[in-house]
C-alpha cells in the first residue's frame, strides 16, 4: 500500500489550473483486469443514476492524496484547446529520447518537465493560455521528426506518443486521456514524481507553477510555415467504405473475429489482429470498434482495413473481380 499524503487545498486548485482541460475524466481501476493483468482506466459513473461523473476539486485532492488515480483528457471540446502537451515514451531508450526533446525544447526557450513513469517517462509542456490542439501537435511532431525520433502510429508500434492525440474532437468525443501526474499508479503501487523538484506534492506543484509557459504567439512562431506531417494526419473519422458483404452474402462483422473487448468511451477496444500477427499490441488496445456501428473500426498503430481483414482470414474481396 502506498501511504496517503496530506494535500493542501491550494495545491489541488493549482493542479486543476495546470492540468484539467475538461471535467470528464477517467479513473484507474483498483484491481487488475483478470485477463491482461493491467489496471485499466474507465469513465466513472454515479452509482445511483449511472450518470458520468464530473471532475471536482475533491477528485483532484483524492488523486493527489493517493486514494484514487485519475486520467486527464488533453482537449476541451468546446475550444479544441489544451493547457499542455505531454509526450509519453515507454520503450527501451525512452528516457534518452525524452531528454533529447527536453534539450531541444530548451533551445526554443520552452521549459519541459520530465515525469517518471512505469517504464519510461512523460515530458510535459505548459501553455500560458490554452492553445489549439492542432497547433501544439504541429510543433511537437515537426520537432520530433527533425530530431529523427520514432513516433508511435503510422505502422510504428514503438515510439513516442504525443498528447493531444487529436487535432480536434467532434461532439461526443473525448480523445485520449493520460495518467494524471503525481498520482499513484495502481499497477506499480507507487507514485511517480517530476525530476525537477523534491518528492512532495507541494514542492512539485510549486516547481510546475514556476516553469516558463508557452504563449500562443510563441507557439505560432514555432510552427510558422509548418503543417502536420501528412503521414501523421489522423483520419477524421473511421472509414466505412468498402464492401461489408462478402461473396457469401454475409456482412463482415469484426466483432466475430477479435478476442475479448473492453468498453472505452464510445468504442470497444481490443488487440488488433494485424498487430498481433506481428507480435505487437501486447497491451491489447490498438483496435477501436465503434459501439454504435461495429462496422467501423480502426487500428491506432496504422494497420489498414485490408491488413486487418487479411489477418482475420476474411480478406476484402477484390472489387474488379467481384
Interface positions with Zn ion (CB under 5 A): 272, 274-275, 286, 299, 301, 303
Q: At its nearest, how many Å lie between Zn ion and the CB of residue 133?
A: 24
Q: At its nearest, how many Å lie between Zn ion and the CB of residue 302?
A: 7
Nearer to Zn ion, 3 or 279 (CB): 279
Closest CA to 153 of 301, 36, 17, 290: 301
In order, the DSSP letters of 287-310 are EEEESS-TT-EEETT---HHHHHH
**CA distances (Å), origin 311, targets 198, 285, 287, 318:** 49, 16, 13, 16
Q: At its nearest, how many Å lie between Zn ion and the CB of residue 286?
A: 5
Nearer to Zn ion, 200 or 314 (CB): 314
Cα-to-chain-centroid distance, residue 82: 13
Under DSSP, the state recorded for 230 is G
Nearer to Zn ion, 68 or 301 (CB): 301
Q: Can you tell me whether residue 211 is helix, strand or coil?
A: coil
Nearer to Zn ion, 218 or 271 (CB): 271
Q: Can you tell me whether residue 219 is helix, strand or coil?
A: helix
Q: At its nearest, how many Å lie between Zn ion and the CB of residue 272?
A: 3
Nearer to Zn ion, 7 or 275 (CB): 275
Nearer to Zn ion, 115 or 281 (CB): 281
Nearer to Zn ion, 184 or 275 (CB): 275
Q: At its nearest, how many Å lie between Zn ion and the CB of residue 310?
A: 11
Spatial separation of the C-alpha atoms in residues 296 and 267, rounded to whole Å? 10
Residues 311 and 277 sit within 8 Å (Cβ to Cβ): yes
Question: Which helix H or strand E contains 163, and what residues bound it?
Answer: strand 161-163
Residues 13 and 56 sit within 8 Å (Cβ to Cβ): no
Residues 16 and 10 sit within 8 Å (Cβ to Cβ): no
Cα atoms in the 13 Å half-sphere on the side-chain side of 220: 5
Nearer to Zn ion, 192 or 300 (CB): 300
Q: At its nearest, how many Å lie between Zn ion and the CB of residue 273?
A: 8
Closest CA to 168 of 292, 76, 300: 76
Q: At its nearest, how many Å lie between Zn ion and the CB of residue 314?
A: 15
Phi then psi for residue 235, to 5 deg, are -60, 135
C-alpha cell at 220: 505560432
Cα-Cα end-to-end distance for the chain: 61
Q: At its nearest, how many Å lie between Zn ion and the CB of residue 301?
A: 4
Amino acid at each position: 500500500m502506498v501511504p496517503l499524503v496530506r494535500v493542501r487545498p491550494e495545491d489541488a486548485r493549482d493542479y486543476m489550473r495546470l492540468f484539467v482541460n475538461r471535467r470528464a475524466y477517467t479513473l484507474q481501476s483498483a484491481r487488475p483486469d483478470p485477463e491482461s493483468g493491467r489496471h485499466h482506466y474507465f469513465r466513472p459513473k454515479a452509482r445511483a443514476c449511472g450518470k458520468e461523473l464530473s471532475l471536482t476539486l475533491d477528485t483532484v485532492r483524492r488523486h493527489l492524496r493517493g486514494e484514487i488515480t485519475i486520467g486527464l483528457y488533453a482537449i476541451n471540446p468546446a475550444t479544441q484547446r489544451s493547457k499542455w502537451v505531454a509526450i509519453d515514451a515507454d520503450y527501451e531508450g525512452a528516457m534518452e529520447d525524452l531528454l533529447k526533446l527536453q534539450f531541444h525544447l530548451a533551445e526554443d526557450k520552452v521549459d519541459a518537465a520530465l515525469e517518471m513513469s512505469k517504464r519510461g517517462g512523460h515530458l510535459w509542456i505548459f501553455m500560458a493560455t490554452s492553445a489549439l490542439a492542432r497547433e501544439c501537435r504541429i510543433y511537437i511532431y515537426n520537432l520530433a521528426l527533425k530530431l529523427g525520433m520514432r513516433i508511435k502510429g503510422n505502422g510504428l508500434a514503438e515510439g513516442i506518443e504525443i498528447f493531444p492525440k487529436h487535432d480536434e474532437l467532434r461532439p461526443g468525443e473525448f480523445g485520449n486521456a493520460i495518467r494524471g501526474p503525481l498520482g499513484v499508479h495502481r499497477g506499480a503501487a507507487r507514485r511517480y514524481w517530476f525530476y525537477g523538484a523534491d518528492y512532495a506534492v507541494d514542492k512539485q506543484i510549486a516547481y510546475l507553477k514556476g516553469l516558463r509557459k508557452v504563449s500562443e504567439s510563441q507557439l505560432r512562431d514555432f510552427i510558422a510555415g509548418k503543417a502536420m506531417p501528412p503521414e501523421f494526419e489522423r483520419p477524421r473519422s473511421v472509414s466505412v467504405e468498402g464492401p461489408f458483404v462478402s461473396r457469401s452474402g454475409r456482412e463482415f462483422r469484426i466483432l466475430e473475429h477479435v478476442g475479448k473487448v473492453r468498453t472505452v468511451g464510445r468504442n470497444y477496444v481490443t488487440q488488433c489482429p494485424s498487430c498481433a500477427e506481428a507480435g505487437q499490441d501486447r497491451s491489447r488496445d490498438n483496435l477501436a470498434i465503434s459501439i454504435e456501428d461495429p462496422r467501423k473500426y480502426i487500428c491506432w498503430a496504422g494497420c489498414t482495413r485490408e491488413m486487418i481483414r487479411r489477418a482475420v482470414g476474411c480478406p476484402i474481396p477484390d472489387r474488379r473481380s467481384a
